[in-house]
Amino acid sequence: VAERGGPGPGASELARRGIAVAPALAAGQMAAVGFEGHVLSGQAFRARDAVGWLSGQAAACRREGFRGLRIAVDMSWALRPVARVEQLPDFEEGIAAAVADTPLSVLCQYDRERFDSVTLATVAAFHTRSVAAATYHADAMLRICRQYAPPGIRLAGEIDHRHAEPLALAEAIRLEGDIMVNMARLAFIDASCARMIVDAARGMAGSRAVILQCCPPIAARFVLLGAVEIPGVSVVSADDRWCLASAAA
C-alpha cells in the first residue's frame, strides 16, 4: 500500500533486491494499491474502515486458496493533513487483533526521518515485531545504523572519540556505488570522528560520489576539515536545499 496504485517506483527497488515483481503482479500474487479508497477515504481516515479493508483482503486471499498474505503499508499518509489521524493507535491496535493467530502479516513502515519519536513510541507498542535497519550502535546518546536508500550509514545523536569504534565506516565502504553518510540528526561530532569520516570519504571518493548530509553547524566542521576540497565529496543540507562541493564536482 503506497501513495499511488500500480508498481510505481517501489517495483524497481523490489526488483533490485531480487523480487520478481512483474511475474508476481501478472499472476495475481502481488498487488500494489494506493492509500485512497483503501486506507483513506476522501482524505479522511477511519481506523475501523481501514482495518476492515485489511481483514477483507485476508479473507479474499483465503477464498482464493492462498496460504497467507503479507501486506506492507507505507505509513506516510499519516503525515498529511488527514482528518481523524488521531485514530492511528486504534488502527494499529485493530491490526494487531486482526492478524493474531492468522497467516496474515502486516508491515507498517514508518520513516524515522519524518515521524516524531512520540508517535513512533505510541504505535510501536501495538506491534509484535519491529524491524529496524541493521544497527551498529544504539544507546541513549547515539544511534548508528545502515541506511538503505540512498545506500550508506545514518548517525543520530552525539558522537565523540569514545564511539569511534562503532562508527561502521568499514561497512559503508563495502557498499557499492555512491555513499551517503546521513548525519541530519547528528547534534554533535568531535574532531576525531569528523576527521575519520573525512578520511574514509577521501578513500572512497576516487571512484564514486560521497555525500555528507548534515545540519549547518556540523557541515561547518566538515568544511573546515577540507571535505569540500575533495573531488567527489559533497556536503549536503539535511533538507536537501543546498550543498557544498568542490569546484570539480
Partner 1 sequence: MTGGAWRRQPPEHRPLGSRSLGPDTGGRQPPAVLDQGFDNDSLYALREAVAAHAMQAGLAEGRVGDLVLAVHELASNAIRHGGGRGPLRIWDTGVMLRCEVTDDGAAQSAAGEAGAGAGDAARWRIDPGHGLWLVRRVADETSVQAGPSGTVAAVSFTLPPPGGLPPFQLAQRFPGRLYRIVGDGRARPQFG
Residue given cell 493474531 in the structure block = 100
Taking the least distance from each CB to partner 1, the nearer of 6 and 216 is: 216
Helix (H) or strand (E) holding 117: helix 117-124
The Cα 37–Cα 54 span in angstroms is 12
CB of 180 to partner 1, least distance (A): 13
* DSSP reduced 3-state for 208: coil
CB of 184 to partner 1, least distance (A): 14
CB 153 within 8 A of CB 144: yes
Q: What are 191's three cell numbers?
A: 574532531
CB of 200 to partner 1, least distance (A): 14
> How many Å is the maximal CA-CA distance in the chain?
64
Q: Which of 221, 212, 199 is nearest to 245 (CA)?
A: 212
CB of 176 to partner 1, least distance (A): 20
CB of 56 to partner 1, least distance (A): 40
Taking the least distance from each CB to partner 1, the nearer of 126 and 188 is: 188
Sign of the torsion formed by the C-alpha atoms of 230, 233, 238 and 239: positive
Taking the least distance from each CB to partner 1, the nearer of 131 and 149 is: 149
Taking the least distance from each CB to partner 1, the nearer of 78 and 236 is: 236
Q: Using CB atoms within 10 Å of the CB of residue 35, give its burial: 0 to 12 exposed, 13 to 18 middle, 19+ buried.
A: buried
Q: Which of 83, 85, 8, 87 is nearest to 44 (CA)?
A: 83
- Angle between helical axes of 191-204 and 216-224 (0-180°, round to 10): 70
CB of 242 to partner 1, least distance (A): 6
Taking the least distance from each CB to partner 1, the nearer of 84 and 161 is: 161
Taking the least distance from each CB to partner 1, the nearer of 174 and 241 is: 241
Positions touching partner 1 (CB under 8 A) are: 141, 158, 160-162, 188, 190-192, 195, 198, 216-217, 219-221, 223-226, 228, 234, 236, 240-245, 249
Question: Facing residues of 237 across strands?
Answer: 214
